[in-house]
Amino acid sequence: MTIPISWYLLLSAFLFACGVMGFLIKRNIITIFMSIELMLNGVNLSFIAFATRFGTLDGHIFVFFVMVVAAAEAAVGLAIIISVYRTRETLNVDRVNLLKL
Amino acid sequence: MKLFFWQPWLIPLLPLVGALINGLFGKRFSKSVVASIALFFTGASLLFASVHAYTLLHSGADALETSYGTWIRAGSFAADFGIYLDHLSLVMMLVVTGVGFVIHVYSVAYMEHEGGYYRFFSFLNFFMFFMLTLVLANNYLLLFVGWEGVGLASYLLIGFFFQKDSAANAGKKAFITNRIGDFGFLIALFLLIQHFGTLRFATVFNIASSLPAETTAGLLTAIGLLMLVGACGKSAQIPLYVWLPDAMEGPTPVSALIHAATMVTAGVYMVCRSNAIFSRAPLALLAVAIIGALTSFFAASIGIVQTDIKRVLAYSTVSQLGYMFMAAGVAAYSASIFHLMTHAFFKALLFLGAGSVIHGIGGEQDMRSMGGLRKYMPWTFWTMLIATLAISGIPPFAGFFSKDEILWQAFSSPHGSKIFWAIGIITAFMTSFYMFRLIFLTFTGEYRGAQQDAHSAHADHGHVPHESPWLVLAPLVLLAVLSIIGGWVGGNRFEHFLAPVIQKVQTESPRLQVAESAAIPTSEHGEKTGESKALETSLMSISVLVAFSGLGLAWFFYVKRPELPGKIAAASGGLYKLVLNKYWIDEVYSAVIIGPLVALSRAFLWQIVDQKVVDGSINETATAVRGVSHVVRQQQSGLIRSYAGWIAAGAAVIVAYMVWMGTR
């Protein structure tokens, strides 16, 4: 018995929505950061689901790319977070608003 | 195939080269270099013009047309850079280059002590370029370029002494008055394009000559009248003549070249050039004659009481131009051009002579402060006397022949009338009177400038009148010779010479033209035998008599009884005042036209259209943009999460849309 693809997609959409919600609601940068990872993984799940469903490798390759980018992003992002914390002594995004007019 | 450089396009272009060299680099040159450059290019142009005139006359052709490529092409309409050399443009070309060169020579010495020497010669050459473009163009559009160009040159040269307010204003007045005329001319050109599809002379005249003469006002009449408006502006005719007297603010050689001999005759040239159109529009022709006759009379009457030597000549020019228009208006185009030519000689001479006088007595222009100059400057006196005899129409000087031809044509032409002839005769009398008044006031009696000079403290102003240098006198003598012999060719022979230009278009088919142009002179001669010959002789003797009586009256008033003019002026009171103030025309214009125009411009165009509509629309646009921006700016909060929210909302909208599209 195979699980229908729509289940995978629903789970993927759920994970993505969770990520979006977390991104929008949370104030802590680290939590926001994790929400982004969650969104990426939600997308990854739908890629894998389609790849398995159609029996091709394209989806896998996309997922690898996303993971590589996510890893790089995590490294850069964490570095930025650390430097933000060092200069601002807070991780609340609402207070990191130098770009605001 | 002749050499490319041996072609007529060089005639107008040579002065342009001179103008460019002097205009761009002249400041660094010495005066003699500037003068040599200007003289060289004008002289070369004269030489080329003579060569091409010779070529044309010996080729036996009626006209040589050369095109140097297309200038404008728009749909079916095309205008060329083309040169049209026929007997009419040949006469004009030789007058322009000949008189122009002589005046250049004169200016070398005359302008010696003025600032902006190189500027003057650059402008003068610039004028020559446009004037030659005007007379040599093979289509109306190129003619119009020359037409505007000479207007520009005229503006620049009238305002040559631009530090003087009056000169700058006179320049503006000339330019703006001419704009009114040009507007009419431009509409005439548009009508030509619309109905004839071309502006090329040969084609337009061919089409026009296939049309029947209009008995009522029609298309050709409209075109003719609009052209007349343009000609009125350029040639200073009623009602647009007001700029010419003011144009005397320019240096005297400019008055001689532009405002007497050449540019102001452009209108006459244009009317004669367009004779194919005018001859088929009797109403337009009548308007030309009426305007010409009125102007000649009107301007001559003003000339009688003017005291500024150059203004007398200016009004005299307006009056003589009126003569030319009257001749053109009775379809005596050749008489008109004949007078144009002789007038160019003697009026240029009069202006140059006046310049010599003004120079000799240290800048004074009022004739009341002159007098007795004959013994100080005999050369100037004799040459000016010759010109005066010529303009008064006393045989055997040039003006007699052309003026007599005009009067005869005004009397006898099918378009003419005895009224025109009568006005012409009265004008001739006034012309003779005011010209000899000028001569007597200036050259006879005692010098009246001396006492005033004794009063003034300036040592350099108190100098005795002296004769001008030979470089000024040589042009005077040359023009004096031309003023004597210039008319000897005779009206009939001149008419025969211009017959290809005038007659060609009056025949129905081009093939008939040879027969007809050959037939015209004989019929003319046949006509003039018998009683009409006697009539012509008696008319001629009347005009000579009138010229002499003008002379006599001037002598009586200004030599025999010099106290009389003042008494008569006092006795006639209002009339004298009216004429002295030039019939208040300038004041009337400024009250009726300029005043309301300025008021309207200020109240409506400036304060409403410009400030409210133009500026207002810009300001309102800016305000509206700022208002909208103020609203839109709110979303640019600088909060990353709000941006993310927008992105998420946008994505959600797109997804919703796609889902909706999918389920539909």
Q: Do A23 and B641 touch (CB under 8 A)?
A: yes
For B238-254, give the secondary structure using H, E and C.
CCCCCHHHHHHHCCHHH
How far does A36 lie from chain B, in Å, by closest CA?
Answer: 11
Highest mean pLDDT among B512-516, B530-534, B558-562: B558-562
Is residue A100, in this structure, part of any structural domain at all? no
Q: How confident is the model at residue B657 (pLDDT cuts 50, 70, 90)?
A: very high
**The pLDDT value given to residue B4:** 62
Tell me how crowded residue B448 is: count the other CB atoms within 10 A of its CB: 16
Residue B66 tokens read as: 């050369």
How far does B119 lie from chain A, in Å, by closest CA?
Answer: 59
Indicate whether B167 pLDDT > 80: yes
Q: Which residues in chain A are contacts of B639 at CB distance < 8 A? A: 93-94, 97, 100
Closest A-chain CA to B645: A24
Q: Which of A9, A12, A18, A20 to mutate to test the interface with B (most CBs of B within 10 A)?
A: A20
Residues 6 or more apart whose Cβ sits within 8 Å of residue B165: none
Is residue A68, in this structure, part of any structural domain at all? yes
Q: Which of B641, B653, B659 to mutate to test the interface with A (most CBs of A within 10 A)?
A: B641
B70 forms beta bridges with B80
Comparing B203 with B576, the larger pLDDT belongs to: B203
Inter-residue contact B86 to B137 (CB < 8 Å): no
Tell me how crowded residue B169 is: count the other CB atoms within 10 A of its CB: 14
Is residue A101, in this structure, part of any structural domain at all? no
Indicate whether B601 pLDDT > 60: yes
The DSSP code for B263 is G
Q: Do A100 and B648 touch (CB under 8 A)?
A: no
Closest A-chain CA to B655: A13
Indicate whether B454 pLDDT > 60: no
Residue B573: HSE in the Cβ half-sphere, 13 Å Cα cutoff: 2
pLDDT single digits (tens) B293-343: 999 998 999 988 888 999 999 999 999 999 999 999 998 899 999 999 999
Mean local confidence (pLDDT), B104-119: 88
* Collapsed DSSP state (helix, strand, coil) of residue B151: helix
Inter-residue contact B337 to B327 (CB < 8 Å): no
Indicate whether B513 pLDDT > 80: no
Indicate whether B58 pLDDT > 50: yes
Is residue A75, in this structure, part of any structural domain at all? yes
How far does A39 lie from chain B, in Å, by closest CA?
Answer: 12
Q: Do B638 and A101 touch (CB under 8 A)?
A: yes
Angle at B491 between CA B55 and CA B506, to 5 degrees: 75
Indicate whether B571 pLDDT > 90: no
How far does A47 lie from chain B, in Å, by closest CA?
Answer: 18
How far does A1 lie from chain B, in Å, by closest CA?
Answer: 29
How far does B664 lie from chain A, in Å, by closest CA?
Answer: 20
Residue A63: HSE in the Cβ half-sphere, 13 Å Cα cutoff: 17
pLDDT single digits (tens) A21-70: 998 888 888 998 999 999 999 999 999 999 988 889 989 999 999 999 99
Inter-residue contact B139 to B80 (CB < 8 Å): yes
Q: Which residues in chain A are contacts of B648 at CB distance < 8 A? A: 20, 23-24
**The pLDDT value given to residue B450:** 61
Indicate whether B518 pLDDT > 70: no
Q: Distance (Å, rounded) from C-alpha B506 to C-alpha B173?
A: 39
Q: Distance (Å, rounded) from C-alpha B339 to C-alpha B538?
A: 21
DSSP letter for each residue of B554-620: HHIIIII-TTHHHHHHHHHTHHHHHHHTGGGHHHHHIIIIIHHHHHHIIIIIIIIIIIIIIIHHHHH
The partner residue sitting opposite A94, judged by closest CB among B639, B645, B648, is B639
B317: Cα separation from own chain's centroid: 10
Nearest CA among B562, B585, B476 for reference residue B106: B476
User: Residue A39 corresponds to which amino acid?
Assistant: M
Q: Which residues in chain B are contacts of A96 at CB distance < 8 A? A: 640
Residue B243: HSE in the Cβ half-sphere, 13 Å Cα cutoff: 29
Q: How confident is the model at residue B520 (pLDDT cuts 50, 70, 90)?
A: very low
**The pLDDT value given to residue B517:** 43
Average pLDDT value over all residues in chain B: 86
Closest B-chain CA to A26: B641
Q: How confident is the model at residue B514 (pLDDT cuts 50, 70, 90)?
A: very low
Overall pTM > 0.90 = no
Is residue A21, in this structure, part of any structural domain at all? yes
Is residue A23, in this structure, part of any structural domain at all? yes
Closest B-chain CA to A96: B639
The DSSP code for B265 is G
**The pLDDT value given to residue B499:** 82
Mean local confidence (pLDDT), B31-54: 91
**Which CATH number do you get for residue A65?**
1.10.287.3510
Q: Which residues in chain A are contacts of B658 at CB distance < 8 A? A: none
The DSSP code for B259 is I
Residues 6 or more apart whose Cβ sits within 8 Å of residue B605: none
Q: Distance (Å, rounded) from C-alpha B151 to C-alpha B155?
A: 6
Q: How confident is the model at residue B584 (pLDDT cuts 50, 70, 90)?
A: confident
Q: Do A101 and B639 touch (CB under 8 A)?
A: no
Tell me how crowded residue B629 is: count the other CB atoms within 10 A of its CB: 9
Mean local confidence (pLDDT), B10-25: 91
Q: Do A24 and B640 touch (CB under 8 A)?
A: no
Q: Distance (Å, rounded) from C-alpha B248 to C-alpha B243?
A: 9
Is residue A20, in this structure, part of any structural domain at all? yes
Is residue A83, in this structure, part of any structural domain at all? yes
B312-338 core/surface letters (b: 16 or more CB in 10 A; e: else): bbbbbbbbbbbbbbbbbbbbbbbbbbb
Q: Do B636 and A97 touch (CB under 8 A)?
A: no
Residue B422 tokens read as: 């009568």
Q: Which residues in chain B are contacts of A94 at CB distance < 8 A? A: 639, 641
DSSP letter for each residue of B478-508: HHHHHHHHTTTT-HHHHHHHHHHHHHGGGSS
How many structural domains does chain A have? 1
Q: Do A93 and B639 touch (CB under 8 A)?
A: yes
The partner residue sitting opposite B637, judged by closest CB among A32, A93, A100, is A100
Q: How confident is the model at residue B463 (pLDDT cuts 50, 70, 90)?
A: low
Angle, nearest 10°, between helix axes B282-305 and B418-443? 30
The partner residue sitting opposite B641, judged by closest CB among A24, A99, A100, is A24
For B294-318, give the secondary structure using H, E and C.
HHHHHHHHHHHHCCEHHHHHHHHHH
Residues 6 or more apart whose Cβ sits within 8 Å of residue B594: none
User: Which domain does A19 fall in, by range?
Assistant: 5-95
Q: Distance (Å, rounded) from C-alpha B640 to C-alpha A96?
A: 9
How far does A101 lie from chain B, in Å, by closest CA?
Answer: 7
Mean local confidence (pLDDT), B197-221: 85
Closest A-chain CA to B643: A24
Whole-number percent of chain A with pLDDT over 90: 57
**The pLDDT value given to residue B59:** 83
